[in-house]
Amino acid sequence: MYAKPSPMICSAVLAAAFAAFTATVHAGNIKALSDSPLQPALTKVADLFRQETHNQVTLGFDPSPAVKKRIEEGEAADVVIVQPDFVDELTRAGKVNAGDRPIIGRVGVGLGNRGSGPAYDISTPEKLRKTLLTADTLVFNNVASGNTFAKALEKLGIAETLTARIVRTTPNGIFDPALKGKGNDFVAGTMPLIATTPGIKLLGPLPGDLQNYLVYTAVLMVNTSQRETAQDFIRFLTSSEAKDTFAANGVN
C-alpha cells in the first residue's frame, strides 16, 4: 500500500530543489585570458571552481604578449592572468584594474626531447652542458622562457658553439621542429607545456642558477560585467585547494 510522504519530507525535497534551481539561475559565466604555460593546471583549477560554485569559466590561452595584444585590440574578458610586466602595460592602457593583483604561481624552464630519445641526465650544469653539445637541433622561443634559456647557454659558455644548431620560433611553434626532426633534437621551454605535449619527454628543469621562473598574476578587467564572480575566481586561484592543484601540474 502506498504511503503518502509526510509534509516535512515534502518540504525538505522542495527546499532542496529550490536551492539547486536558485544556484543554477544565479551561476555566473566568466571569461579568463591566460598565458599558455598555465593551461594544464588552470584548466583543472577552473573545473574545481565550477564544481564548488556552479560558476562557469571559459578559458582562452595565448602567450602573454598575444594576450595583451588581444585585449588592446578590443577582446572582452573578465579576468586576465599574465606576467606582471604585461599587467603593468594593460593597467596604463586602462584595460585592467590597478588594484590587487595576487601572484598565483610561477613556472620554471626545462628541457625536453622526443619521447623516443634518450633520457638524458641534466641535473647539474655540467651534465646539461654535455647533453646540449650532442644536439643536432635546439629549439626555443623568442619570448621570456626562450630568453631564459639563451642566457643559460651563455652562462654555460656554449652559446657560440651551438649557434648553427639553434632554431628560435614563436611561443607556440617550439615543438614541431623537434617532433619532425630525425636527429638528436631538443626543445627548451616552460615545463608544464613540455610535460603535457604528446610525443615530447620532459628531461627536467634547468639546474641551479641557470633557472629563472616566469611569475603569473591575476587581475580584473575594468569592463567586466561579472565583477563579483570574477573576483571570486581570482580569490579561488590563491586558495589552498587551487595551490595544491597548481603544484601537481607544474606551477609552484
Confidence band, pLDDT 50/70/90 cuts, at residue 99: confident
> Do 176 and 83 fall within a single domain?
no
Nearest by Cα to 219 from 49, 83, 38, 73: 83
Does residue 221 sit within a domain? Answer: yes
Does residue 44 sit within a domain? Answer: yes
Does residue 87 sit within a domain? Answer: yes
Compute the mean pLDDT over every residue in the chain, rounded to the nearest whole number: 90
> Do 118 and 181 fall within a single domain?
yes
Question: What is the C-alpha separation between 194 and 110, in angstroms, rounded?
Answer: 8
> Do 101 and 127 fall within a single domain?
no
Does residue 242 sit within a domain? Answer: yes
> Do 115 and 97 fall within a single domain?
no
Which cell is 66 given?
Answer: 598575444
- Does the structure show a pLDDT above 80 at 11? no
Does residue 96 sit within a domain? Answer: yes
The per-residue pLDDT for 5 is: 55
> Do 203 and 117 fall within a single domain?
yes
pTM of the model: 0.83
The per-residue pLDDT for 21 is: 41
**Backbone φ, ψ for residue 13 (5° rounding):** -65, -45
Does residue 182 sit within a domain? Answer: yes
CA 139 to chain centre: 20
Does residue 16 sit within a domain? Answer: no
> Do 100 and 127 fall within a single domain?
no
> Do 114 and 205 fall within a single domain?
yes
> Do 87 and 119 fall within a single domain?
no
> Do 180 and 225 fall within a single domain?
no
Nearest by Cα to 65 from 86, 84, 48, 51: 86
pLDDT (tens digit, 9 = 90+) per residue, 147-187? 999 999 999 999 999 999 999 999 889 999 999 999 999 99
Nearest by Cα to 219 from 120, 93, 79, 104: 79
H-only helix segments in 93-226: 125-132, 144-156, 175-180, 191-196
> Do 165 and 41 fall within a single domain?
no
Question: What is the C-alpha separation between 251 and 204, in angstroms, rounded?
Answer: 14
Give the burial class of 126: count Cβ atoms within 10 A of its Cβ; 0-12 exposed, 13-18 middle, 19 or more buried: exposed
- How far apart, in Å, do the first and last CA atoms of the chain sit? 61
- Does the structure show a pLDDT above 50 at 200? yes
Does residue 146 sit within a domain? Answer: yes
- What is the longest distance spanned by two Cα atoms in the chain? 89
Nearest by Cα to 247 from 71, 108, 52, 69: 108
Task: Provide the residue range defining the domain that includes 229.
Answer: 28-105+216-248
Give the CATH number, domain containing residue 89. Answer: 3.40.190.10
Domain count across the chain: 2
